[in-house]
Amino acid sequence: MRCLMNTKQWYMEYKIHKNRPGLLGDIASLLGMLEVNILTINGVEDRTRGMLLQTDDDEKIELLGKMLAKVENISIVTLRPPRLTDILAVRHGRYIERDSDDRKTFRFTRDELGLLVDFLGELFKQEGNQTIGLRGMPRVGKTESIIAGSVCANKRWAFVSSTLLRQTVRSQLSEEEMNPHNVFIIDGIVSTIRSNDKHYNLLQDIMAMPSTKVIEHPDIFVRESSFDYDVFDCIIELRNTPDEEITYENFTTAGLDGGF
């Protein structure tokens, strides 16, 4: 009897060519005979069906792929250990859009805030050093999404700089706030253009911590600081509409209470 600790998850996605009655039941029966558990199942963007599977034997997955390759009504699109985007695709029924040239850039629109919050929550659950950039025009929901993602991950958050209610520029944080398990929220414009030396020293300390940092307006942050784009593990873009242009010309010199 294999130890349950050796169980692994797999993501399987297949395209349906002919959705005949009983097709899903046949596939589920095959999985059952192989003793491969179905953890989650959902249609993905009306094109394919995705499954999150679990088994303690990698050879069963290899055999599953070979057997399903012989089924005429479907074709296997993906069969691999799940990525975060795979898990969210099954959960929400749609894939997160990624930049075709820069694969670490993920795109969302305001009507996908639920998906964005879930994505951020899963990222925040990952311990260790990670820096996330968040692009978006004023009042699109950037800071609110970060806070909601922190709540989903059961993490505390600390504002290093922000314009959520009024301009916040911290020169020091309490010992409790400096906990590396917290999520640190940084406004790239405020911290680089509208700050002082004490704040910038605090910023340097936080950036060196093995913790999660989310930097709004990462392009201004890179332009006005000593950091470059390599510091970011991923960059998220949030727009009101898919074709909205994210530009900083009109609000890097805007009033301090205007909100970014």
Q: How many domains does the chain have?
A: 2
Where residue 5 falls among pLDDT bands split at 50, 70, 90? low
Residue numbers of the domain that contains 70: 4-89
End-to-end CA distance of the chain: 57
Most confident of 14-18, 131-135, 172-176, 198-202: 131-135
210 within domain boundaries: yes
Q: Which residues of 160-190 are buried (b: 16+ CB within 10 A; e: fewer)?
A: bbbbbeebebbeebeeebbeeebbbbbbbbb
Most confident of 93-107, 176-190, 237-251: 176-190
> What percentage of the chain carries pLDDT values higher than 70?
93
The dihedrals phi and psi of 165, each to the nearest 5 degrees, come to: -110, -45
Q: For residue range 39-71, what is the model confidence (pLDDT) as tens digits?
A: 999 988 777 899 999 999 999 999 999 999 988
> Among 59, 89, 119, where does a domain finish?
89
121, 56: one domain:
no
42, 159: one domain:
no
Instruction: Name the token pair of 146.
Output: 């970060």
- The HSE-up count of residue 183 (CA atoms within 13 Å, CB side) is 26
220, 107: one domain:
yes
Q: What does pTM read for this prediction?
A: 0.85
109, 84: one domain:
no
Instruction: Name the token pair of 178.
Output: 């400096």
Q: Is the pLDDT of residue 3 over 70?
A: no
Neighbour count for residue 104 (Cβ, 10 Å): 13
> Among 89, 122, 154, where does a domain finish?
89
Distance from C-alpha of 44 to C-alpha of 26, rounded to nearest angstrom: 19
Q: For residue range 157-216, what is the model confidence (pLDDT) as tens digits?
A: 999 999 887 788 999 999 999 999 999 999 999 999 888 899 999 999 999 999 999 999
